[in-house]
Amino acid sequence: MLASPVATWSGVVAGASAPGVAQGGLGYLPQLLNYLANGVVFSAIIVLGGIGLSLVYSIADFANFAHGDTMTVGAYAGLLTLGAVGSAGPQVFALPLGFYAALLAGIAVAAVVAVATHYLVYEPLDTDSIGLLITSIGVAFVYRALIQIQFGRGFTEYDIATLRPIPWIEDLTGITVTEHEVAIVLVASVLVTALHVVLQYTTLGRTMRATADNEALAKVSGIRTERVITSMWVIGAGLAGAGGVFLGLYNQLSPRMGFNLLLVIFAAVILGGIGSVYGAMLGGVVIGMVNRLTPVLTDFGIPIEPAYANAIAFVIMVLVLLVRPTGIAGEGVS
Amino acid sequence: MPEDTRSAFEGGEDTSQERIESATNVVLAVAALGLLAGALFGLISPRYLVFLVSLAGMYALLSLGLNVQWGYAGLINFSVAAFFGLGAYVPVLLSASGSPITDALPPIAGLFVAVVVTVLLALAIGIPTLSLREDYLAIASLGLAEVVRLVVRNQENWTGGTGGLGGIPLFFEGVPVLGTLARDIGTVDVGFYTLGFQFWNSLLNAALVGAFVLGSYLVLRRMHRSPWGRVLRTIRSDEDLAEALGKNTYAFRMQAFVLGSVVAMLAGVYYAYSNYYLTPDIFDPIYTFYAWIAVILGGSGSNRGALFGGVVIVTIVEGTRSLGIGASWRLFAVGLLIVLVMRFRPQGVLPPRDELIWPSARGGEADE
């Protein structure tokens, strides 16, 4: 199934760029697997960001443009913590324990900042969802500006040695994946599973789903919606903070890192269905995969460069909005 | 004039409006006099003063354009930067010596091509997005503006890519008299300053942006009061009502979107020809958000407010720059301003008021 289009295309398109395609046939498979593996890692980050965006959309009822910068806040909180704790000591998945402390700090700080923003900024506002949307842009700028003032505008990195790919996986399958990337996917899976358990099997989860469904009804049923909204911010921003720390580990840190990813996360959330947490997870995986599989287009001679990976996500987003605004898993939110 | 003759748009409960308006006028007048005095006493170079005024005009054009879309029709358009960039890129691509396409066209002809391209891009962005729910429109238009930015950055064979474009001619090149005016006047000594080619050229550019602002302002004010403007205002406050009255709201919103985009594009034309070099940074979404602050701060739906917002943006951007305050604090100020305005004065400083009432209908009973 895979080999036949490769053969046809490499025959038709002279000078197709990837060596794998030029060799034809199965030679391209390791390359493709690499893109897929990379896509899984990137998806994990998008999913962590998407859940919070979707939660805010369903419970607080607005498109939160500060969500990307909440990820940045988490990433830089991690940077500070890692600097304080240091990267010495025992390692898990080739990551020092200090990194896990940084991860927890990123989650905690992002959550605290988001809850504080809710009470200081959003809560006193007397406005509709559009007013909240516009306000969240201002909040995003304030977050980013404060990070720039503190840490400068350039790129930084976590003080953790970059790794070579895990040798036995590379030998066996040709996939170059580092232990860090495995750790990102594993921890993200644990967080997502934990969220699933919370949503489905705890009172908090049930009250959250009830509030998202119909806030007024939840209120008259005796649910303390104010508390639910606070927990929603804690969970959403906490996951975003974790996503930010992972994004910093996966790439680099810069004050714009979260804002640059925001629209891609929006694309994932819209594709999955606004307001649906599980849709956001699904959309995150699809958009993350599509994003990292874009080089395949060039390899097959389609003149769309990898630089357009985000553009493809945005176009998918607009198409979903047009054709099926409720997304894949949407429950008639419209 | 009694309270109840005011436009319903204002809400009516705001009695401090008159005081705020006169305070705004006083502040603006003091600022203008201060700058002028600074120039007279040799503190501010006349060229910088002219530059500031032109920049205010540029931001005013962006906010006037957005005001048509958001203020009149209630469209949450986050693609202003795409049209700003287009207004800069299209004429430059047709006239600059560094352009990968051609340098054969005079810039003025490029301006007309830019209008056509803007209308086409506005249709391309508007047709899929304008039927969307308002918050989806925000996200979708921002996404499509990013697509435009990515195309300009990556299609080096058409746009010069991230390296940018050099060799931008003067805007009036090829035009009789105006084309060589700045050179012909030569240097003039006035008191503290020697006014040379650079100054006269800036002055010409200021005249250009001034003409754009004045033209747009007059046209938009006229259109806002026209039946067309009334329909848009109806759509903004109650779209179902407009539909029930038999109005094709989609078509009206599309017209507002295209018209506003053309006005925002004019700002880009000034930007391009007042610089020697053009890079894709002009497509940065920050310009979209500058326009938004200007409109919200000035008062959504108010053209005077849009002009005022333009002045405030220049004050923030250039004021922090001349005080040596870095870009990060500027971003902070901008963000804080958005939050504070939304918290304490969401209707803006100069919300639309009697500018919506036809002059002859003012004073006494309405005649229809």
Beta bridge partners of A253: A156
Q: Is the dihedral angle over the CA atoms B7, B9, B10, B13 positive or is it negative?
A: positive
Q: Is B160 inside a domain boundary?
A: yes
Q: Is B307 inside a domain boundary?
A: no
Query: What separation in angstroms does the CA of B309 have from each of A138, A280, B130, B358?
Result: 16, 38, 26, 24
Q: Which residue has the higher pLDDT, A277 or B43?
A: A277
Comparing A20-24, A108-112, B32-36, B249-253, the range with the smallest average pLDDT is: A20-24
Chain B residue numbers touching A133 (CB-CB < 8 A): 76, 135, 138
Task: Provide the pLDDT confidence category of residue B3 given band limits of 50, 70 and 90.
Answer: very low
Mutate one of A119, A122, A125, A142 to test the B interface: name it (highest B CB count within 10 A).
A142
Domain count, chain B: 1
Q: pLDDT of B177-214, one tens digit each?
A: 787 777 777 777 777 777 788 888 888 999 999 999 99
Cβ contact B331–A148 (<8 Å) = yes
Note whether A127 and B344 are within 8 A (CB): no
> Is the pLDDT score of B355 beyond 60?
no
Note whether A91 and A97 are within 8 A (CB): yes
Q: Is B319 inside a domain boundary?
A: no
CA A329, CA A192: separation in Å to the nearest integer?
17
DSSP secondary structure letter of residue A166:
P
Closest alpha carbon to A277 in A269, A285, A267, A289: A269
Do the bridges between strand A95-96 and strand A91-92 make them parallel or antiparallel, or are there none, so unpaired? antiparallel
Chain A residue numbers touching B142 (CB-CB < 8 A): 263
Note whether B154 and A305 are within 8 A (CB): yes
Q: Is B25 inside a domain boundary?
A: no
Residue in chain B closest to A263 (alpha carbons) equals B143
Note whether B288 and B79 are within 8 A (CB): yes
Q: Which residue has the higher pLDDT, A182 or B325?
A: A182
- Enter the pTM of the model: 0.87
| A321 part of contact set with chain B, CB < 8 Å | yes
| A116 part of contact set with chain B, CB < 8 Å | no
Q: Is B351 inside a domain boundary?
A: no
CATH code matching the domain that covers A25-323, chosen among 1.10.3470, 3.10.110, 1.10.10, 1.10.1760 = 1.10.3470
CA B231, CA B72: separation in Å to the nearest integer?
9
Q: Is B66 inside a domain boundary?
A: yes
Helix (H) or strand (E) holding A92: strand A91-92
Residue in chain B closest to A125 (alpha carbons) equals B343
Comparing A153-167, A195-209, B210-224, B286-300, the range with the smallest average pLDDT is: A153-167
CA A185, CA A47: separation in Å to the nearest integer?
11
Out of B134, B135, B140, the one facing A317 most closely (by C-beta) is: B140
Q: What are the residue boundaries of the structural domains of chain A, listed by start? A: 25-323
Q: Is B224 inside a domain boundary?
A: yes
Chain B residue numbers touching A125 (CB-CB < 8 A): 342-343
Chain A, chain B: beta-carbon pairs less than 8 Å apart:
119
Q: CA of A129, closest CA in chain B: separation in Å? A: 8
Residue-wise DSSP of B300-342 = TT-HHHHHHHHHHHHHHHHHHHHTT--HHHHHHHHHHHHHHHH
Q: pLDDT of B135-174, one tens digit each?
A: 889 999 999 999 999 999 998 888 888 888 888 888 888 7
Cβ contact A141–B154 (<8 Å) = no
Do the bridges between strand B188-190 and strand B193-195 make them parallel or antiparallel, or are there none, so unpaired? antiparallel
Task: Provide the pLDDT confidence category of residue B57 given band limits of 50, 70 and 90.
Answer: very high
ipTM, 2 dp = 0.85
CA B239, CA B275: separation in Å to the nearest integer?
42
Q: Containing domain of residue B214, as a range?
A: 50-174+193-283
Give the Cα-Cα-Cα angle A70, A74, A78 (nearest 5 degrees): 165
